[in-house]
Structure 1
């Protein structure tokens, strides 16, 4: 560890190194192979082909070392190829790689569930199940909610993203690219307004209570609370643009759910496991969900996801009603146990909060210099800027794409997001060294100056 609390350099030099244009000749060669082998419906943010990654850097096939502000979309918070994770996975791979927990169980699955029951919000008795992806976790949470309540309807929100399966695609708000042409969609899904402070018609003051009142009114008039199994929301909306609902909105919705026998499901797929400076984002306003869906950062890059919920809810589902062939794969379970040790022993929630302390002032200074930066938002190591046409709040996705491209050319991996495609989002790994973090911010400023 360095004196500022950030990790010392790891296996790879923690430095940006540009030796070719980006993408370089080897990556372009691999891209040509891809075009004849991979379906074009699978996109990539940046066509550089990765050969190594560690800490805060990603190395491509041409030897360029890029600063990582993406973490594989909030997956590798503890660092890519984290030594503890890699060692646990390798050891497990030498013993057995699969039995299917539903056929012949193993201890690591139980241990992961025990840990999830311990660390998720609330001190009530809990149960967990393990699956493979965030979409699968959300879909199972909805299944459980419908089974436990005997009700059909699910309420979701504008700008929300929950996955790409039939049900989770239906739950997702954005048409292109997630839903376009893939209908018809699943029934009994209803969409409500979100307390989006930057775009709320009357402004950010009062946005939380006003939006919550609209949601309650809409559910009451259009659906009927007694028909609603669950309300599902991301505590900070991810693909929708890292939108942090206005203060008071989530507590008001949670209270309405409690008063009407509706289950509150927190989709913590992108926000969980220390990403926002809390272990889970819903802790920020003291929300205790009935069910929590987790994935992404849970296993350091291996496919694993989970649903954790109140024991009285989870215990209602009949035996055999939940599961899957690969859910809770033993390699992924060992990775998850290692990730939890890294987060807790390394105090990575504090480190994520520290990343926010470094980045937010610089992003706000950027907004002061450039009128195109309409909003700066987020918490911890989950931050974003929304770009608009100066003097308006009209989204500017073209400028967003240009800035992202300039960052990529300079060796900074950044991601875009947002319903309007006009948000730059930043998800650095918690273990990124501070000097590398600041260099990435320098590149962002240079890209705006262009």
Structure 2
């Protein structure tokens, strides 16, 4: 076992795990879409710090914006004072969110953003009843964990919320598997009606949903599903919270926000990860009457701090100025077009799914739908050995997840595709 891993295990909790077992790697430098470990080996990064280094590594525009702020000597002031970068970033986000008279609250992580959104919704509706989606992940704090429908990430059965669960968009297994899009949407709406009639007290505060489930393995329902659910929610005054922590900022290629594939306007949108490109930055944007539904003085000590929002402004400007949404569509199509045939030809690839630069492969035992986490781990290790970093996830730990930086080039997409394909074939031979 390497020396740094031994030290890591001696002082950090056992549940703070690392990839690659005894071969865990330390990343010491990065440039563009490539990172280098402490042994000098370089990798093509197709996971981006869990979809966080959205522009890639060592981006001049972001570095210069942060250095300029650091040079002022003001690293932190708290929101008790005006923060120009914070106001500027909030103005940009409200324009992009499409919510009339919107307000933005900044936090440090997706967990905090979702926790805040749940606070706003439950305060506004005077109800602690929440609808959530099976196979979802919304964070590690008390309320966010309560609406996480993924046992591997549910560290406590205790909850401040009363949660009722809706079916996920899983098309491979489960009660809605195999349904055509229209039939799937109809069944999901019927399920919502039944849940409201049977497992709630009626005055539900909100539905929180990821347009594409992140930790759940990039599972998603048909386009229009959230819009159909929202029509039924509106009959009961129930709010919709769109968790865009992984799907936002153009990553899906076809839309800037994941929810836009569903012909719906959420009441609250949570965001994090990519907007900071590695700096701790997250938040909620929503209707003023909802965000203002906090009947006490409150703020986030570090949320929206001058350094993080300097980075956030540079990141968002870069995304828009370079039309990275279109690039995500273009390079994502290269990957998906190359990978989709594997679902028909490979005995271990059960499904290829995703859109834009949010792509997953689900691995099962040959010619079955029985999850194969061990085979998934072998594919991941083969990718690393060949110089490609990918992520893992899914309810059963049998999904490879890829969320490359949105600056990925077409040549890099083809390079990564070749490495991944070779890794899968190597495991097939074994």
What TM-score, normalized to structure 2? 0.94
Are the equivalent residues in 1 in contact too, given 2:99–2:267 (CA < 8 A)? no
Task: Give yes or no for the alignment of 1:290 onto 2:264.
Answer: no
Matched with 2:78 is 100
Matched with 1:187 is 161
Task: Give yes or no for the alignment of 1:33 onto 2:7.
Answer: yes
Corresponding pairs, count: 418
Task: Give yes or no for the alignment of 1:317 onto 2:291.
Answer: no
Q: Distance in 2 between matches of 1:124 and 1:53?
A: 40
Q: Distance in 1 between matches of 2:341 and 2:241?
A: 36
Deviates more, 1:197-206 or 1:244-253: 197-206
Task: Give yes or no for the alignment of 1:196 onto 2:174.
Answer: no
Q: Distance in 2 between matches of 1:366 and 1:439?
A: 17
Q: Distance in 2 between matches of 1:212 and 1:402?
A: 39
- Long gaps (5+) in structure 1: 1-26
* 1:123 Cα deviation from its structure 2 partner: 4.8
Are the equivalent residues in 2 in contact too, given 1:67–1:413 (CA < 8 A)? yes
Q: Distance in 1 between matches of 2:225 and 2:358?
A: 20
Are the equivalent residues in 2 in contact too, given 1:198–1:204 (CA < 8 A)? no
Are the equivalent residues in 1 in contact too, given 2:128–2:160 (CA < 8 A)? no
Deviates more, 1:145-154 or 1:340-349: 145-154
Matched with 1:19 is none
Task: Give yes or no for the alignment of 1:386 onto 2:370.
Answer: no
2:321 to 330, 337, 345: 345
Task: Give yes or no for the alignment of 1:437 onto 2:413.
Answer: yes
Matched with 1:399 is 375
Matched with 1:422 is 398
* 1:319 Cα deviation from its structure 2 partner: 5.1
Q: Distance in 2 between matches of 1:326 and 1:403?
A: 39
Matched with 1:222 is 199
Q: Distance in 2 between matches of 1:139 and 1:408?
A: 35
Q: Distance in 2 between matches of 1:316 and 1:433?
A: 44
1:76 to 29, 53, 57: 53
What TM-score, normalized to structure 1? 0.90
Computed over aligned residues only, the root mean square deviation of the Cα atoms, in angstroms, reads 1.6
Matched with 2:16 is 42
- Long gaps (5+) in structure 2: none
Deviates more, 1:439-448 or 1:199-208: 199-208
* 1:388 Cα deviation from its structure 2 partner: 1.5
Matched with 1:412 is 388
Secondary structure class of the residue paired with 1:142:
helix
Q: Distance in 2 between matches of 1:404 and 1:420?
A: 15
* 1:153 Cα deviation from its structure 2 partner: 0.4
Q: How does 1:135-284 map to 2 (within 5 A)?
A: 135-176=111-152, 178-180=153-155, 182-201=156-175, 203-205=178-180, 206-225=183-202, 227-277=203-253, 278-284=255-261
Q: Distance in 2 between matches of 1:347 and 1:140?
A: 30
